[in-house]
Structure 1
Amino acid sequence: MFQQLYVPHSALKGFVNNIMVHELTSEATGNACTFSIPPLPEHSLIFYVRDSVDVETISTKKKKTLSSSLVIGPQINRHKITLGRDHLMIKVGFQPGGLYRFLGIPMSELFCQEAFDGVELLGNQLNEVADQLRIAASYGEMIMIIERFLLKHTYRVKQALPIDHVLPLLIQQRGLIKIDQLASRACLSTRQFERVFQQRIGLPPKHFSRLVRFSQAWILKEQQPRIPWIQIAHECGYFDQMHLIRDFQEFAGVNPSSIEAELLNSQVKFFTRLFC
């Protein structure tokens, strides 16, 4: 398995956080690989360069094959992902609010837990990007192809407002900073902040904060499978272990102990961090 996070071009850093390459081939797994993806707060543009990927939403039991390019917003449910035997994914991870600034579409209208076909939102140029990625000779060339596409569209990026500089604090503070503090730093009333936040993120601030904290707990367990849940609850800012269990039941549909064996035995360690 190969996974690498790349820092984006300096002209993209205002709205793009990272570009990630993830590769897993049959030589490593022997066959198709299935594993859980936790609910995550990130907005992203994803390219599946080789084999297709199947997904099952745990809460609804719906299954489908994903498009070769996707635009994805914050996910509030666990998913089961099945990779092909020759898997190569490139993910553009946007800054909090960055996808709103790039698309100019309110995230509250766009996302309902679904992944959108990238071509429908960004046009046929994405098909050209996908074709170029398939014949690229190196990861570095793939990153350059995607950056060229993004740089061509920087003209459409909305100017950053004070709130856009404040939103990353929710990630940096692991969802534990108070909403009224964020609103004050964004030079907005709490009610104005909640409205503009939902426009940019697609979720209410408190719900998003809980999602950030839960995601951090999942990722910590993925990174350190032997660490006890009570320690994870403490390190991620939960009042107690029962508080963590309630969030697990809501976001993952299971108790923490139910997912522990899967994380311990998984061949794929997919999300090493939320943001660079």
Structure 2
Amino acid sequence: MLSRAPCPPLQPLVRMLWASEGAEASTEGGLERVLPTGAMHLVFRLSDSPLRLLEGGRPQSVGRTVVGGARASYYVREVSQPVSSVGIQFHAGAAPLLLGVPAHTLAERHTALEDVWGPVVAEMRERLRAEHSPHARLALMEQWLLARLRQTRGALHPAVELALQRFAAGDGVKDVVDATGYSHRRFIVLFREAVGLPPKTYTRVLRFQDALARLARCPDQSWSDLALDAGYADQPHLHRDFIEFTGLSPGRYRALRPGNPNHVPIPSGGPVGRSKTFKT
């Protein structure tokens, strides 16, 4: 997979652009759990196969151009066919400035991009398909986003911008709300509109992602040390979040040793678990 940072005008909004050529089809069972990161992403699948999620043991087709909303829940997707894709990952809070809709309306689900941007999406997908290299596709995607940016107005709300900075530094929700000068209720509304998740939920996902990153760096670290290093009260606290965010026990997750911490292969014949995907 080819990935890179965007050009400077897009950097406040977009964390990364990426393009893959014939990726996926990499797990024995053809399924994987995708874990919540709290971020939003946008994907153009250039191959014929649409994104297919597993809901209640049955596949649900989402489409070939998809907005993935911010999540605090994992989902299960099929990865049985090779897929060429182009996508972007947004910075937290930035997606509504390009998409033009509040983030909470897209949260915890996948939405067809045509439902957000209309028929121009199909034209853009065909233009991407006509390019024959990942570099050219990323350049075209970047030009398209720049054109969208020139059509948008507004900026990230200062209270949300402050909160995201403070949450990344590990500050608690109450202290951050006090620093913004807004009431707790009003702050939650502002934050959900920009980010998609309530602030307390978002900070829990951030802490869990920190734990996964630490585990990837030190895969043999004890769970008790990992819990404390990542800011959990104790090991049972980390265990509860693991079950909620992955559908797996910490021990089972460690045994699977996923190459990408947020993409956990489901072995052939293995239990899928409690999927929280949403039909679209």
Using structure 2 for the length normalisation, give the TM-score: 0.81
Alignment of 1:241-260 (within 5 A): 241-260=235-254
Query: How far 1:70 moved relative to its partner?
Result: 0.6
Q: Is the 8 A contact 2:242 2:249 kept in 1?
A: yes
Q: Is the 8 A contact 2:5 2:17 kept in 1?
A: yes
Q: What is the rounded CA distance, in whole Å, between the counterparts of 1:172 and 1:209 in structure 2?
A: 8
- How many correspondences in the alignment? 261
Q: What is the rounded CA distance, in whole Å, between the counterparts of 1:66 and 1:219 in structure 2?
A: 29
Structure 2 gaps of 5+ residues are 264-280
1:231-275: CA deviations, max 9, x gaps? 33233211111100111222223321222222x2x4x52759xxx
Query: How far 1:51 moved relative to its partner?
Result: 4.9
In the alignment, is residue 91 of structure 1 matched against residue 82 of structure 2?
no
In the alignment, is residue 81 of structure 1 matched against residue 77 of structure 2?
yes
Partner of 1:210: 204
Q: Is the 8 A contact 1:225 1:260 kept in 2?
A: yes
Q: What is the rounded CA distance, in whole Å, between the counterparts of 1:30 and 1:99 in structure 2?
A: 31
Q: What is the rounded CA distance, in whole Å, between the counterparts of 2:138 and 2:147 in structure 1?
A: 14
Partner of 1:40: 37
| Residues 1:137 and 1:23: Cα distance change in structure 2 (over 3 Å) | closer
| Residues 1:216 and 1:30: Cα distance change in structure 2 (over 3 Å) | closer
Partner of 2:17: 19
Q: Percent identity?
A: 22
Q: What is the rounded CA distance, in whole Å, between the counterparts of 2:180 and 2:90 in structure 1?
A: 20
Using structure 1 for the length normalisation, give the TM-score: 0.82
Partner of 1:105: 101
Q: What is the rounded CA distance, in whole Å, between the counterparts of 1:121 and 1:215 in structure 2?
A: 28
How large is the Cα RMSD of the aligned pairs? 2.7
Partner of 1:135: 130
Q: Is the 8 A contact 2:36 2:262 kept in 1?
A: no
Query: How far 1:36 moved relative to its partner?
Result: 1.8
Q: Is the 8 A contact 2:45 2:84 kept in 1?
A: yes
| Residues 1:24 and 1:90: Cα distance change in structure 2 (over 3 Å) | same
| Match of residue 124, structure 1, among 119, 122, 130 | 119
Structure 1 gaps of 5+ residues are none
Q: Is the 8 A contact 1:7 1:18 kept in 2?
A: yes
Query: How far 1:211 moved relative to its partner?
Result: 1.5
Partner of 2:269: none
The amino acid across from 1:72 in the alignment is G
Larger RCO: Structure 1 or Structure 2 (Cα < 8 Å, ≥ 6 residues apart)? 2
Q: Is the 8 A contact 2:68 2:106 kept in 1?
A: no
Q: What is the rounded CA distance, in whole Å, between the counterparts of 2:15 and 2:235 in structure 1?
A: 32
Q: Is the 8 A contact 1:233 1:239 kept in 2?
A: yes
In the alignment, is residue 144 of structure 1 matched against residue 139 of structure 2?
yes
Query: How far 1:33 moved relative to its partner?
Result: 3.9
In the alignment, is residue 269 of structure 1 matched against residue 266 of structure 2?
no
Q: What is the rounded CA distance, in whole Å, between the counterparts of 2:237 and 2:18 in structure 1?
A: 32
Partner of 2:4: 6
Helix, strand or coil at the partner of 2:227? helix
Q: What is the rounded CA distance, in whole Å, between the counterparts of 2:243 and 2:38 in structure 1?
A: 17
